[in-house]
Each structure stands twice: as structure tokens, then as C-alpha cells.
Amino acid sequence: MITEFIVTEGETRKRLDQFLVNRERDISRSRLQRLIELGRIRVNDRMVKPSHTIKPGDHITMDVPQPGPLLVDGKTLPLEILHEDEALLVLNKPAGVVVHPAAGNWEGTVLNALLAHIPNHA
């Protein structure tokens, strides 16, 4: 999705990444910085650094890719299920077991185990 901004007088003397974090509340500053470094965010059709100071009249273009579906495999992890019925599942999660997949922990999480335990809810 492409988004465009024109910098106004009241928005000057800010770093590009700081300006954008106030405009795009759903995107973290670190992700904005990475998009700038990749050239997905440009100022006046030029690649700049996240620390670039914006000026009135600057034309900022953002080409932010839409996230794809999160594919999580149901892997077996022993679950200590304390109670389970049609509406509720209560389990005892051991300390140190990751709850959901994220960078560095795509497998062996509680979510992976639950998907294996209840495959039709994926």
C-alpha cells in the first residue's frame, strides 16, 4: 500500500523516522527505520537515512508491503491440560515455554501444540 505525505511548516526539524512514527501509529519505529533503509520510504523520490531531517514541502512516499498470512505448523509439545470442554481449555504452561511463534521461536510453542491438539481451529 502506498501512502504519501507533504511536510507542513509545523512538522519541520524532525527526523524522518520520528515524523512517521507520529503519523503511522500501527507501525513501530524500528520497522519504519528498516523500511527507510530498504528504500520503501523515500523523501522527494530519493533514498535517505532514518535520521534525515525533514523540511516544509518535502514529499514522503511510503510503499509498505502488506503482511502475508502467518503460517504456523501444529507441532507436538506435551500439554498438561487441566480442563477442556467445548468453550474452554485450561492448561498448565511450564515456565520458559514460549506462548506463540515469533522471530527465533517458530516451533515448540504453546500455540503450535494447541494447533496440533485442536487442528480444526487453525
Q: What is the CA radius of gyration of the chain?
A: 22
Whether the full predicted model's pTM is greater than 0.95, yes or no, is no
Residue 69 · residue 122 · CB < 8 Å: no
Query: Higher confidence at residue 10 or residue 120?
Result: 10
CB atoms within 10 A of CB 113: 19
**Which phi and psi (to 5°) does residue 91 adopt?**
-135, 160
Q: 15 and 52: one domain? A: yes
Q: 17 and 53: one domain? A: yes
Task: Please give the tally of structural domains in the chain.
Answer: 2
Q: 40 and 9: one domain? A: yes
Query: Which CATH number does the domain housing residue 48 bear?
Result: 3.10.290.10
Domain that holds residue 46: 2-63
Give buried/exposed letters for 26-44 (b at 16+ CB in 10 A, else e). eeeeeebbebbeeebbbbe
76-80, 101-105, 107-111: which range is least confident on average? 101-105
- pLDDT for the residue 69: 61
Q: 59 and 84: one domain? A: no
Q: 110 and 59: one domain? A: no
- Give pLDDT tens digits for 24-83: 988 889 999 999 999 999 999 999 999 999 999 999 999 998 766 655 566 667 889 999
